[in-house]
Amino acid sequence: MSDANSPQDWNTLAERVARHVENYLNGLEAVARGEGGPHALPLLLLEVSQVILAGAQLGASADVILPDNWEPEVGEDPDLDTVRQGLAERLVAVDEYVEVFDPYKDTEATAYRLSDDLADVASDLVHGLRHYQHDRPLEALWWWQYSYFNHWGNHAGAALRALHAVIAGARLDVAEEAAAVT
């Protein structure tokens, strides 16, 4: 049995997470361009669920520690404002929602936007992906894990709950209407 912190295990995890990240980014960009049509919300629910699976794998892993305790520069991250704006246009009817950000520390709901949350998650993920693409899987894992606990995990979880509420509400309302008609 291999050591859970071996380079091979880290490389395998980095490869798995990178695939989830690429799928999330591609799916998000497609929906932002309008390619999801009437299925945009279910597609976003699927993409967010898949990337949260990657986050859960990072959360269940040992802490990723960089040998020199510093993150190499990857240059400027891409501007995701076009994606954010495209999502806002597609999600206009459901973009704004409220969330208790930390159920153990917060007592009041705060207003959020799905388009912002989804793009913020993408921003954190693309930064790690750039490390991975520069053949630095350990740096990628460190960034993904750190930003999962610090930022994108909360935003992805909130977005997942909001998307689930919209889709479940629509499906349950249809089921109730059909039952009332029969």
CA distances to 11, 16, 119, 125, 137 from 61, rounded to whole Å, are 13, 13, 25, 17, 15
For the segment 97-131, what is each residue's pLDDT rounded down to a tens digit? 998 777 788 778 889 999 999 999 999 999 999 99
Element (H, E) at 154: helix 153-181
Cα–chain center distance at 172: 26
**Phi, then psi, of 157 in degrees rounded to 5:** -65, -40
**pTM, two decimal places:** 0.87
The total of other beta-carbon atoms located within 10 Å of residue 79's CB is 9
Element (H, E) at 164: helix 153-181
Distance CA 167, CA 173 (A): 10
Q: In this model, does residue 62 exceed pLDDT 50?
A: yes
For the segment 33-59, what is each residue's pLDDT rounded down to a tens digit? 999 999 999 999 999 999 999 999 999
The pLDDT mean for the chain works out to 89
With a CB cutoff of 8 Å and minimum separation 6, the contacts of 36 are 30, 43, 44, 90
Q: In this model, does residue 3 exceed pLDDT 50?
A: no
24-55 b/e with 16+ CB inside 10 Å = b? bbebbbebbeeebeeebbebbbebbeebbebb
**What is the longest distance spanned by two Cα atoms in the chain?**
68
Distance CA 178, CA 182 (A): 6
Domains in the chain (CATH in brackets) are: 7-181 (1.20.120)
- Cite the DSSP H helix spans in 38-152: 40-60, 81-90, 114-133, 137-147
